[in-house]
Structure 1
């Protein structure tokens, strides 16, 4: 069988507290990273992302018009950070006439972590407001989630379930009796791996849809202000 030419993709994700971007070649043997940057700077996602995109393209020696696609992490993630990556990825793909493929960030984190031989894996990321985004996986297949809950609620919900692996930041994984890491993010290669079937099939791109799982902070604050203007109830 004749080997297929590699597919070059720019991958990016801003659904966590890190900005992730890289250039990846999808080859017959799987995704191969040509260049990547993972930088923790959640307050400056917009400023950092475009600079990192330029850096990884230069390091990989790949011009924008030599790319075949853009792969973007669509969350779940906090509103402000997530929309930066998605808007940037969509605009970049549109400017170059490239298809953009969206993938779930939790799926990419699972794909980028060696899977347990058997059992159920829990993947967690920080949702802020003392909550976590989570999903369950078995043999690389998502079987529950993505969803958002407080750690206490999630511990209670999964109390009767045996977990063979928990992936996430230590302050969350310790609630399940598991070791964790200081920061857990997808990688450019794992983002591309999740989109591999669509990339290989040259599937038509679909609009990128962000997965927030709750309303943005600005809306909630507006709602709170509106409620504060309502007349208070009087009691006889």
Structure 2
């Protein structure tokens, strides 16, 4: 089955086409561009590009997998709206995966506890801790790096991954794995593969914001005249 994977929870705008076979996954095509201000402009052309590279059409898709965050409001909703629209238009199921889980899954190593952190702006990070086989140990949260460093001190963490971990490495004080900055498309697909193979019903793609958007509509109208 051909599956479209999209993620816009970080500055990396990702689209990929993955073939889910009974015993393995095959990455057929992938596009990833890092640009925190161009999610809306980049994602749709990337989807068209991966389909063209694989010689496929949108009607060949059997499912859509989307990273549901956590991530900043504006960027994250681009990927989710794209996934929901394609799922409804093509009448195919959609499956959500926590974007931090994808990094934790990709970084998993026996005997290690891993801090996954993405940049949340406002001098904060989205973060969670993962153990063997990429199993999540703490729930996703958002906090200042110094707060995370204090909470992580007693969790036996041995390494950190993600853009947020690199940006605030001096505060977190943990060894880094440089090759894992953003959620890999193949990891997102792997975390949804069991549900897809089993033919589980599609899911509502609920964004994991963890905090209110930067722009909030005023609740009280101010008078024009004094």
Question: TM-score, normalised to structure 2's length?
Answer: 0.91
Residue 164 (structure 1) shift: 2.2
The C-alpha deviation readout for 1:132-156, integer Å capped at 9, x for no partner, is 0001111111110211010011111
Aligned counterpart for 2:173 among listed residues 173, 176, 179: 176
1:122 corresponds to which residue? 115
Corresponding residue for residue 234 of structure 1: none
**1:213 correspondence with 2:201:** no
Distance in 1, Cα, partners of 2:221 & 2:152 = 35
SS of 1:217's equivalent in the other structure is coil
Rg (Cα) greater in structure: 1
Q: Give the deviation of 1:101 after TM superposition.
A: 0.5
Alpha-carbon distance in structure 2 between the residues aligned to 1:118 and 1:210: 31
Query: 1:72·1:101 contact (CA, 8 Å) conserved in 2?
Result: yes
Inter-partner Cα distance in structure 2 for 1:117 and 1:227: 56
Unmatched 5+ stretches in structure 2: none
The verdict on how the C-alpha distance between 1:180 and 1:117 changes in structure 2, with shifts beyond 3 A counting, is closer
Deviation at 1:32, TM superposition (A): 1.3
Aligned residues: 219
Q: Which moved more, 1:12-21 or 1:115-124?
A: 115-124
Give the TM-score normalised by structure 1.
Answer: 0.87
Following TM superposition, by how much is the alpha carbon of 1:15 offset from its aligned partner in structure 2, in angstroms?
0.1
Over 3 Å counting, the alpha-carbon distance change for 1:72 and 1:31 in structure 2 is same
User: Which residue does 2:16 correspond to in 1?
Assistant: 22
Deviation string for 1:13-56 (max 9, x for gaps)? 00001101100011233221000001011211111100000000
Aligned pairs for 1:50-61 within 5 A: 50-61=44-55
Correspondences of 1:55-204 after superposition (within 5 Å): 55-113=49-107, 115-139=108-132, 140-169=134-163, 170-174=166-170, 175-181=172-178, 184-204=181-201
